[in-house]
Each structure stands twice: as structure tokens, then as C-alpha cells.
Structure 1
Amino acid sequence: MSTDTGPAVQELLPAHTWDRLEKDPNAVLIDVRTKAEWSFVGKPDLSSLNRSVITIEWCEYPDMSVNPRFVEEVKEALDGSHPSAIFFICRSGARSMNAARAVSASSGDLPGTPDLFNVAEGFEGDLDSQERRGGLNGWKAQGLPWRQS
């Protein structure tokens, strides 16, 4: 009986994630937040790297149930490409870790054997002393490229 659950999910801070994305044209970033978050909060912008963020909801709004097709949708989004690394990002790093673990557990379904990373702190980061996100840490607070639609 095999206990192999796929490659381990590593964690990187947003700035290190950006560095890896800059240096590795075969790395991809998957934003697993909801459509509402992408629209109203914004999303990472990889246009300066001539790439786009892949957007696939891990939890579906409004009931926040786990997307049962998530891994399948990741595979479809990769469209036969063989990324060297896949970075998963959400609001603060929790949902994206769960999404990365799901992909890790199904890694045999993906082309190649990409390294899997959770973006620690996520897009908006942790709550600050006023219970607001976006200023303490995370992708936006570190001044990394992002846009709002």
C-alpha cells in the first residue's frame, strides 16, 4: 500500500514568489479566491512577465463549499503545459494551502512534476490592529504588481 500523497507543498512569501515567477517563465500562479474577491479586491498582475494569473475558485461563493472540480479545472487550465512550479494564492494563505494540498494529492493527474507552493500571507495578508487586511503583509502590502477590474 502506497503512502505517497504527491509532492510536498512548500511555502514562500509573496516577494519570493514574485522573484521565482520573474526568473522562471515556466512557473504559474493560480489565484484560488472567489470571483467576487477578484472583482472587488483585485488580483496579482503578471502582465509585466507576459503571463496571466490563472483564476480557479477553491471555494465557491456564496456558500463557500469546496469546488469538487478544482483539480480537474487546474489540469484543464494548464492545457497540457508542463509548469516547473505552481504557486497558489488566496486572501491570507489558508484556502490556497488546502488547494495546493489537493493538487499534491492528485499530482499524478498533472502533466510533469511541478513543485507546489503556497503563497504565505496571501494577497491581502493578515488582519492589522484595526482588523483590516491589505496593509500589514501579503502581496498588496509588499507593493507587488496587482490590478483591480
Structure 2
Amino acid sequence: MSRSYKGDVSVEECWSVLQSDPQSFLVDVRTSAEWNFVGFPLVPENGRDAVFAEWQNYPSMSVDAGFVERVGAAVRAAGGSQESAIFFLCRSGARSMSSAAAMTAAGFSACHNVLDGFEGPPDPDGHRGNLAGWKAAGLPWRQK
């Protein structure tokens, strides 16, 4: 099946590239409420700061029409280009697919969706963050 972005990667693959390629970027597309109440990923010390840009505006959850322009400007301002590896992360991997596709359509050639996102799927008790994703993999993160 062909994708409208470069491809899907695991959280471990994303972390590995962020560590080895200081020109790569992590873009967290969740909402400000999620960053504030659930937590947010940290990037390797040698990497670029993560970009935090809502794909959908909270609480309406309408797609942000300025997303592509804002993320593109943030990447360029940090020294990146349309060829930079960019990894898109959301809660479980759906919004990040859409945002990676939108950035690819805007001419960014190395956009990746991070599978399982920050929290991954719910466990049998309905809790996220235990089965898969950034938190479950033990990657660095912080909660405000």
C-alpha cells in the first residue's frame, strides 16, 4: 500500500534517528491539553527542540488551517529544510498520519508517522501508555 508520506516508524526507530541525526525533528501534533495533562516527549540532548503544533484545535478538534505554515516555519527557523527528516507524533498514531501527509503535500520529502504515538492503544483496563508508544517504550518524557 502506498502512503502519502515517507513511511511509518516505531518510537524506537524515531528515537534512534533523533539521536544519530541532529538535523531531524520531532513534531508533537497533539493538543495543548494533552501536553499539559498527559505529558510530552523529550528529545536527545544533541537534537533539535521538539516542535509542538496542534493538528486539531482543542476543544473543537477542527484541523488547524495554519498547521503546515507554522511547522514549516519552525523547521526552517531551526536550520532545517524541506529535506529534513521529520517525525510526527500524536496520542496513538492517527493525527500524526494526517499531519505527515499534509507536510508531504507541501513539499517536505522526509515526513514519517510515529506508530503508536505517545500513549499507544488502551490496555484491557482502558488505560493508555502501558502497551505501546513513547511512554511504554521508556523513552524520556515529562509531565508539567
Q: Same fold (TM over 0.5)?
A: yes
Alignment pair present for 1:102 and 2:102: yes
1:1-80 matched pairs, under 5 angstroms: 8-46=5-43, 48-78=45-75, 79=77
Give TM-score scaled by structure 2 length: 0.90
Distance, in Å, in 2 between the alignment partners of 1:63 and 1:54 is 22
Report SS of the residue matched to 1:48: coil
Bigger Rg, structure 1 or 2? 1
Distance, in Å, in 2 between the alignment partners of 1:126 and 1:49 is 30
Distance, in Å, in 2 between the alignment partners of 1:139 and 1:17 is 10
Alignment equivalent of 2:141, drawn from 139, 142, 146: 146
Structure 2: stretches of 5+ with no match in the other structure: none
Report SS of the residue matched to 1:68: coil
Distance, in Å, in 2 between the alignment partners of 1:9 and 1:58 is 18
Distance, in Å, in 1 between the alignment partners of 2:109 and 2:20 is 15
* Corresponding letter in the other structure for 2:143: Q
Out of 39-48 and 129-138, give the one that drifted further: 39-48
> C-alpha offsets along residues 63-112 of structure 1, whole Å, 9 cap, x if unaligned?
100001110111121226326200000000000100111111111xxxxx
Distance, in Å, in 2 between the alignment partners of 1:65 and 1:121 is 22
**Cα RMSD, aligned residues only:** 1.7
The Cα shift of 1:36 comes to 0.6
Where does residue 80 of structure 2 map in the other structure?
A: 81
Distance, in Å, in 1 between the alignment partners of 2:66 and 2:122 is 30
Report SS of the residue matched to 2:14: helix
The Cα shift of 1:9 comes to 3.0
Q: How many percent of aligned residue pairs carry the same amino acid? A: 48
Distance, in Å, in 1 between the alignment partners of 2:6 and 2:44 is 26
Structure 1: stretches of 5+ with no match in the other structure: 1-6, 108-112
Where does residue 128 of structure 2 map in the other structure?
A: 133
* Corresponding letter in the other structure for 2:115: A
Where does residue 4 of structure 1 map in the other structure?
A: none
How many pairs align? Answer: 139
Distance, in Å, in 1 between the alignment partners of 2:139 and 2:27 is 16
Report SS of the residue matched to 1:93: coil
Where does residue 93 of structure 1 map in the other structure?
A: 93
